[in-house]
Amino acid sequence: MFAHYGPRHWWPGESPFEVMVGAILTQNTAWTNVAKAIHNLKQKKVLDPHALYALHPNTLASLIRPAGYFRVKTKRLRSFLKFFLDKYNGDVAAMKKNPLPVLREELLEVNGIGPETADSILLYALEKPVFVVDAYTHRILSRHFLCEEESVYDDLQSFFMDRLAPDVSHFNEYHALLVNIGKDYCRKNPKCSECPLNSINH
């Protein structure tokens, strides 16, 4: 995949905090819509933990509206912000000091943060070596007979992490490439006839 696409330069975002916000906003949503929402936040100069939490929920909702599910995402963003401010005063460096398993537990306790959002924040914002699984990962692996159709998040995460050395750069690139290949081929080719993975796995 890397030979096919080259480096993906993920995650799209200028700061760890922007990555955290994007991870929540992109839940079941096309990135183009998330980009509009983040643009709005930057425009209003509120892409900062304290500033964002200080906004009235209705104001926040109107700014992130383009990202869809704006009422639930307002609630989810605010529950994350409350956690991030209460526990770390909105300081990424302070949060990074904690070990991966502790942080993962904490994030999963936040309402609105499930395994993919937690792992995206851990890998792409906090640079912790955890493999991010998503809908594309499942689709690609099951279509190439590398996992069961009914495999769940933890199954797929173990598939990778049991076989690969924990490496932030490697996990970063690998997940990004899976998403890229998913967008390019899975929708257009249900049988993966043109998928570059065919030359590797079949």
Q: Examine residue 5 and tell whether it contacts DNA (CB under 7 A).
A: no
> How many whole angstroms separate alpha carbon 87 and alpha carbon 85?
6
Q: Which is nearer to DNA, 66 or 196 (CB)?
A: 66
From 15, 111, 189, 198, residue interacting with DNA (rule: CB under 7 A) = 111
By the rule CB under 7 A, 120 interacts with DNA: yes
In whole angstroms, how far apart are CA 20 and each of 74, 90, 132, 156? 14, 11, 14, 23
Q: Tell me the Cα Rg of the chain.
A: 17
List, in sequence order, the alpha helices (H) in the chain.
Answer: 2-5, 16-25, 31-43, 49-54, 57-64, 70-88, 92-96, 100-109, 115-120, 135-143, 153-161, 168-181, 198-201
33 interacts with DNA by CB under 7 A: yes
118 binds DNA (CB under 7 A): yes
At 63, the amino acid letter reads L
Written as one letter, the residue type at 109 is E
Which residue, 68 or 129, is less far from DNA as judged by CB? 68
For the CB of residue 97, give the shortest distance to DNA in the complex, in Å.
Answer: 23
Least Å from the CB of residue 133 to DNA: 9
Stretch that binds DNA, among 45-53, 60-68, 80-88, 191-199 (CB under 7 A): 60-68
Compute the least distance from the CB of residue 120 to DNA, in Å.
5
Contact by Cβ (8 Å): 21, 47: yes
Q: By rule CB under 7 A, what count of residues binds DNA? A: 41
- Kindly list the residues in this chain that would bind DNA in the complex (CB under 7 A): 10-12, 22-23, 26-33, 36, 65-66, 68-73, 110-118, 120, 124, 134-136, 153, 179, 182-183, 187
